[in-house]
Structure 1
Amino acid sequence: METGLEGKRVLVTGGTRGIGRATALAFSRAGARVVACHRGAHEPDEELLQALGALHRADVTRQPEVAALAEAVRDGLGGLDVLVNNAGADGSAPLARLDEEEWARVMDRNATASYRVTRAVLPLLAPGASVVNIGSAAALRGRPAAAHYSAAKAALLGFTRALCKELGPQGIRVNTIAPGMVADEVEARGPVAEKITAMTPLGRLCRPEDVASAALFLGSDSAAFVSGITLDVDGGI
């Protein structure tokens, strides 16, 4: 499939592990110039370092660091054709023990971080650019002991729908990917993972590469008239 991604300029947040790493590598292999950012909690591996155009430390919950990231993208790439808002944080706590600090942490790292980064790079988005927000199936179905996480990912759906209308006249597309439980996540082990695998028609958990392929599609010319959607990557569950 011709993607039209050769030479395109791409920013992936949370790009050193899991979905972010797989997505950064997928765009790089498609010929794009990729910048990824990370908080520094997980050092990038050699394959990623060799594939990427640049790697920056940036905590997307801190506005000064996001501003510096946008400046680095401007200096390094001159603009953006694809933004993948992948950085986020999970959380698990029943409502009775879900205090405001934990609620705020998860909301900030998911919904507010995507707003913060998108707003910072908005002047860099070229006509025809694509914004891809990494959401979650939890936004659509909910998840016990994860009201804050489900709400944060649901907020991304509204953010996507509003921005697709606001930025559409500039030719900018905005979409969300909603993965199911991803096989490399900590909780993707034991009875819960086994139960979800059994419920999934395709018979396995989601892999980071599955999400990366969806991001590649939404960032490519093949999705030139696709905007405002939530693309489920959950095996049909």
Structure 2
Amino acid sequence: MQHRVVLVTGGLGGIGMAVAHAFAGEGARLLLIDRRGDDGTARSALLAAGAADVAAVACDVQDEAAIAAVVESALSRFGRLDVVVNVAGAMIYKPIAELDAADWRRLLDINFVSAALFTGHALRLMQPGGCVINVASVHARRTSALVAPYAAAKAAMVSLTRSAAIEGKPLGIRVNAILPGAIETPMLRESPNIASGAEVIDPADLGQPEDIAALARFLASDAAGFITGEDIVADGGRMGRL
């Protein structure tokens, strides 16, 4: 990963920052995209961790023009783009009967459309050897009440991964998805079921952001050069039990 240019959406969040640190440790050049700007803390920490260069850009991933501007800034600063990790995500907790069109559009835009747009830029701009990693969710396969837009968006992200892998193969660009289970992040703790105690997660099933980051780093590496179009569950085996 040394000197490769890695773009991470949701880069200042729990999983996004862990991903950034994983690539920083191998000397990558990083562009972090997040709805909030960095006050310099994240950049300093990543440079200290070994990153060759770090830029953090505030961007609303619901804005197509803003996404295009971010990609252009990456090319202007770094001259290339090697890895895109789509982490940006959001959830709301409502029954389907109470969801309006704005709810659906917002969740689809943040969780799916933004990833589709960044993937499109990647397929246009990356050289052979590039890769895209979409951080989806186990909700793409099995879900629960109150999170229908999130689950639908993550399922669409997995489908996007397969299609992009097919179109990326002649270009030498790989595309894979990671489906995290319960990961210790603020998003998990905001779940009303978790907060109320209605859903209890066995500590053995609770992962850390670094667990997802390690998988992302592997999928971006040459060691994963024969892996594309896959959606890989990382949930500590929680979904595999009867």
Structures share a fold, TM > 0.5?
Answer: yes
Q: Tell whether the 8 Å contact from 2:12 to 2:42 is kept in structure 1 after alignment.
A: no
- Matching residue of 1:86: 87
Q: Tell whether the 8 Å contact from 2:62 to 2:106 is kept in structure 1 after alignment.
A: no
Equivalences, count: 227
- Matching residue of 2:202: 197
Q: Tell whether the 8 Å contact from 1:164 to 1:227 is kept in structure 2 after alignment.
A: yes
Q: Tell whether the 8 Å contact from 2:9 to 2:85 is kept in structure 1 after alignment.
A: yes
- Overall identity of the aligned pairs, in %: 38
Deviates more, 1:170-179 or 1:93-102: 93-102
Q: Tell whether the 8 Å contact from 2:31 to 2:56 is kept in structure 1 after alignment.
A: yes
State whether structure 2 residue 112 is matched by structure 1 residue 111.
yes
RMSD: 1.7
Q: Tell whether the 8 Å contact from 1:16 to 1:48 is kept in structure 2 after alignment.
A: no
Q: Distance in 2 between matches of 1:109 and 1:44?
A: 23
Q: 1:46 is aligned with what amino acid?
A: T
- If the length of structure 2 is used for normalisation, what is the TM-score? 0.88
Q: Structure 2 stretches of 5 or more lacking a match?
A: 47-52
- Matching residue of 1:142: 143
- Matching residue of 2:4: 8
Residue by residue over 1:172-200, the C-alpha shift from the partner in whole angstroms, topping out at 9 and shown as x without a partner, is 1000000012212344354255x2326xx
- Matching residue of 2:222: 221
State whether structure 2 residue 41 is matched by structure 1 residue 46.
yes
Q: Distance in 2 between matches of 1:34 and 1:187?
A: 26
Q: Tell whether the 8 Å contact from 2:132 to 2:174 is kept in structure 1 after alignment.
A: yes
- Matching residue of 2:28: 32
1:91 is displaced (CA, Å) by 1.8
Q: Distance in 2 between matches of 1:86 and 1:49?
A: 21
Q: 1:168 is aligned with what amino acid?
A: K
Q: Distance in 2 between matches of 1:151 and 1:28?
A: 32
Q: Structure 1 stretches of 5 or more lacking a match?
A: none
Q: Distance in 1 between matches of 2:221 and 2:228?
A: 12
- Matching residue of 2:56: 55
Name segments (4+ residues, structure 1) moved above 6 Å: none
- Matching residue of 2:17: 21
Q: Tell whether the 8 Å contact from 1:78 to 1:124 is kept in structure 2 after alignment.
A: no
Q: Distance in 1 between matches of 2:234 and 2:14?
A: 15
Q: Distance in 1 between matches of 2:13 and 2:38?
A: 9
- Matching residue of 1:210: 211
- If the length of structure 1 is used for normalisation, what is the TM-score? 0.90
Q: 2:57 is aligned with what amino acid?
A: H
